[in-house]
Amino acid sequence: MMRGYLLGAIAVALVACSPGPGDAAPQSTQAAPAVHPVSGLPVVPLKVTSGSKVHQFRVELARTPQEQAKGLMFRTEMGPDEGMIFPFDPPRGASFWMRNTVIPLDLIFVAPDGRISNIAANAIPYDETPLTSNGEAKAVLELNGGRAAELGIKPGDRVEW
CATH label of the domain that carries residue 109: 2.60.120.1140
Q: Each residue of 144-154: pLDDT tens digit?
A: 999 999 999 99
Instruction: State how far the Cα of 7 lies from the Cα of 132, in Å rounded to an integer.
Output: 73
Query: Tens digits of per-residue pLDDT, 46-55?
Result: 999 999 999 9
The total domain count for the chain is 1
Residue 65 has what DSSP assignment? H
- Residue 107: the pLDDT is 98
Domain that holds residue 131: 40-160
| DSSP one-letter code for 27 | P
- E strand map for 3-130: 43-50, 53-61, 82-96, 105-110, 116-123
Decide if 26 is inside a domain. Answer: no
Domain annotation covers residue 28:
no
Q: What is the pTM of this model?
A: 0.80
**Cβ atoms of residues 78 and 71 within 8 Å:** no
Q: Quote the pLDDT of residue 18.
A: 43
Q: Is the pLDDT of residue 141 over 60?
A: yes
Any idea what DSSP says for residue 99?
T
Residue 88 confidence (pLDDT): 98
Residue 161: is its pLDDT beyond 50?
yes
Residue 4 forms part of a structural domain: no
2 within domain boundaries? no
% of the chain surpassing 70 pLDDT:
80
| Domain membership flag for residue 55 | yes
Q: How far is CA 66 from CA 41, 70, 144, in A?
A: 12, 6, 22
Please, what is the Cα angle at 135 between 116 and 119, to 5 degrees? 35
Q: Rounded to an integer, what distance in angstroms lies between the CA atom of residue 137 and that of residue 139?
A: 5
Q: Are strands 82-96 and 53-61 parallel, antiparallel or unpaired?
A: parallel
